[in-house]
A and B are shown apart, each in its own frame.
Chain A
């Protein structure tokens, strides 16, 4: 019965694309790609703005230049938030899949998205929050409460928070919070209207205030996440083996859980619930570099913003002058990749 959730994620993969010598090179290459995408995010959009204008806006700012104002108030914050949210989602997904040994884990699974969504809705309905910077704090609080609750429920009993118990508790809490969210939505049309703009992951209209609110969390969370690679490698061998190797399993799980909560909470607060980046990117990283989390984590941290910002740019261009929300684009781009991985891999039968 437990097959979905207990299938071990980091089973050694015989067919990784990159060998020991090419891995650093590969990381360098995708970092270069990320820089290109960052620059593209500053220049492309419903209106093309040359890179020179961006440089000028920083070096010798001209108040009368409308394009420079657009760059400073819209494009730069948007790109920075996309970068930060991408890094956070990629790292959170990778750590979560490692710690729960569940290849399907992503911020949705531990109830983070659901908790944040309900909290935002409560903020709108009961406290009249209307601005995005107002949403951020509600979302963050909701994500935190949800994760702590899920972790506490999963910890009840003899073995502590095991992989399957985390996944089941997360599913249960997600379902319950989702229903409560629906309940509040159906009570008031105006609240629903304000909420649905946030509830699709989007970078549109996210300004410097959002970036200011989330950046410390993302920096701390990322540093914390990058330190967990050894723990994740040990946990991948199973709790008993990890214990035998001298790893303090419970403590490691707690640290990983904290990193996930900070990262996914901040990302969800900033851009809304984005389901697919955290799920897909670690799989791509794993296919590239193999099961070693010392490589999976940095690769995920670079690949995720690459996918996220790329999707955002695409969303701005395809239906210009309107926009497709980045959450929609990542799902449409990410899901086929995910399906392709599932089809290619030799997966065991349930």
Chain B
């Protein structure tokens, strides 16, 4: 970097750069604050709304257990675990997706497309319908499945280095096998098991208690800091392999480490809630567009994901009075307009070809 700074010596241009940077930093800070507030608001709303309405200003005292007894029961025992779980699930998916998209330099590259979600789902469906797993073991099975799938994709795609293109294609291939096997086990299962597998596969927070929260928190406690430490390398990788190598980055190793971190994030989320559609896919681009820095905006993507999953779960829980709708169904239905908007935008800017 130093030679570049020396080249840009004119005081006027330096002042311009400093001003532009200050403007960007200011916006990033504002966007981050706004997203964090949105997450807090969504969290409070999901504790407050439902069949039994708890006034939002009662929520804090109910959470600590000092409010009205009935409200405390509803808030603490029925809504709190689920509202909490939505946050790490969304954050992990958002951050994971942002890393994947930055690595592949392609907004279509999310854990869903790469087959990692399918691998996690496969091991969960096998665990559920064949081994009769549930709860914590199911979470671990799903996370483990996602990790094993990722390693498999990596090994199969590795050939004198790792091209993003090959990675995506191999991911699609591996994902197809996993999906076929999911279908196989799903058709073989008894009706009851098949129904719980279908619920799990839809990406759902239904009926989660406090005990399902700590595994994902433990995994994120390792994966999130690791990802943030690696984020600097991600920024360099985004310039292209040749540039990154020229700046002195160990390209292949950095990519492998980043992939591992991103897979761990996605795996943790899949283990906790199943494959919640579209969150990993949309969070990164939304965060990028809001911050306008041109970088992956990992923290903002995580906040976006957390807000999305909280709101979607709230909608799924309250929209139909008769039954609960899985959060993944809501995000799937809501994600389509986003893609169509992306389409219209591409069209308008003349990049339709």
Which residues of A are at the interface with B, using a C-beta cutoff of 8 A? 1-5, 7, 104, 153-154, 156-159, 162-165, 168-169, 171-173, 175-176, 178-180, 182-183, 185-187, 189, 192-193, 196-197, 199-200, 239, 275-276, 279, 324-325, 327-328, 330-332, 334-336, 338-339, 342-343, 347-350
A4 touches B346 (CB 8 A): no
Across the A-B interface, how many residue pairs have beta carbons closer than 8 Å? 184
Q: Complex Cα distance A342/B163, Å? A: 11
Q: How far is the CB of B116 from chain A (nearest CB, A)?
A: 15
- Sorted nearest first, the 5 A-B pairs with minimum C-beta distance are A179-B332, A331-B180, A176-B336, A172-B339, A157-B347
Q: Which residues of B contact A330 (CB under 8 A)?
A: 180
Q: Are B344 and A156 in contact (CB under 8 A)?
A: yes
Q: List chain A residues, Cβ under 8 A from B166.
A: 342-343, 347
Contact between chains at A335 and B174 (CB < 8 Å): yes
Interface membership of chain B positions 326-343, coded 1 if the CB is closer than 8 angstroms to chain A and 0 otherwise? 101111110111011011
- Size bracket, chain B contacts: 35 or more
Please measure, in the bound complex, the distance between the C-alpha atom of A173 and the C-alpha atom of B169, giving whole angstroms: 21
Known: A3-B106, A186-B199. A328 touches B352 (CB 8 A): no
Closest to A170 in B: B339
Q: Is the CB of A343 within 8 A of B108?
A: no
Q: Are A342 and B199 in contact (CB under 8 A)?
A: no
Contacts of A348 in B (CB 8 A): 163, 165
Instruction: Identify the closest chain B residue to A169 (Cβ).
Output: B343
Q: Is the CB of B163 within 8 A of A193?
A: no
Partner of A182 from the list B179, B202, B323 (CB cut-off 8 Å) is B202
B40-76: CB near A (< 8 Å → 1, else 0) gives: 0000000000000000000000000000000000000
Q: When chains A and B are docked, how far (Å) is the Cα of A159 from the Cα of B331?
A: 30
Q: How far is the CA of A3 from the CA of B164 in the complex (A)?
A: 10
Complex contact A176–B333 (CB within 8 A): yes
Residue B233 CB within 8 A of the other chain:
no
CB interface residues, B 163-186, toward A, < 8 Å: 163-166, 168-170, 172-174, 176-177, 179-181, 183-184, 186
Cβ of B336 and Cβ of A168 under 8 Å apart?
no
Are A172 and B353 in contact, with the CB atoms below 8 A?
Answer: no
- Is B329's CB under 8 angstroms from A193's CB? no
Mark B residues whose CB is within 8 Å of A: 104-109, 156-157, 159, 163-166, 168-170, 172-174, 176-177, 179-181, 183-184, 186-187, 191, 194-195, 198-199, 201-202, 241, 277-278, 323, 325-326, 328-333, 335-337, 339-340, 342-344, 346-348, 350-353
Question: Across the interface, which residues of B come within 8 angstroms of A186, CB to CB?
Answer: 198-199, 202, 323, 325-326, 329
Query: A172 touches which one: B165, B195, B343, B348 (CB < 8 A)?
Result: B343
Q: Report which of A153, A196, A342, A349 forms a contact with B170, defined as CB distance below 8 A.
A: A342
Could you say which residues of chain A place their CB within 8 Å of the CB of B172? Answer: 104, 338
Please give the distance in Å from A139's CB to the nearest CB on chain B.
16
CA A100 to CA B194, docked complex, whole Å: 37
For residue B268, give the distance in angstroms from its CB to the closest CB of chain A.
22
Enumerate 19 A-B pairs (CB-CB under 8 Å) in ascending A order: A2-B351, A4-B108, A104-B169, A153-B340, A157-B347, A172-B337, A180-B333, A183-B329, A199-B187, A275-B176, A276-B180, A325-B183, A327-B180, A328-B184, A331-B179, A332-B181, A338-B173, A343-B156, A349-B163
Question: Judging by beta carbons under 8 Å apart, are A4 and B168 in contact?
Answer: yes
Cβ of B346 and Cβ of A164 under 8 Å apart?
Answer: yes
Asked if residues B198 and A3 are in contact (CB atoms below 8 Å), the reply is no
Q: Are B194 and A239 in contact (CB under 8 A)?
A: no
Nearest CB in chain B: distance from A105 CB, A: 12
Instruction: Evaluate contact between A156 and B333: CB separation under 8 angstroms.
Output: no
B198 touches A1 (CB 8 A): no
Contacts of A171 in B (CB 8 A): 108, 339
Contacting pair B156 A3 (CB below 8 A)? no
Contacts of A158 in B (CB 8 A): 347, 350, 352
Bound together, the chains give a CA A349 to CA B194 distance in angstroms of 41
Smallest CB gap from B185: residue in A: A328
Docked pose: A159 CA to B347 CA in angstroms: 8
Min CB distance, B201 to chain A, in Å? Answer: 8
Does B179 lie within 8 Å of A275, measured CB to CB?
yes
Are A335 and B194 in contact, with the CB atoms below 8 A? no
Which residues in A have their C-beta under 8 angstroms from that of B164? Answer: 349-350
Chain A hits for B177, CB < 8 A? 331-332, 335
A64 to chain B, nearest CB (A): 35
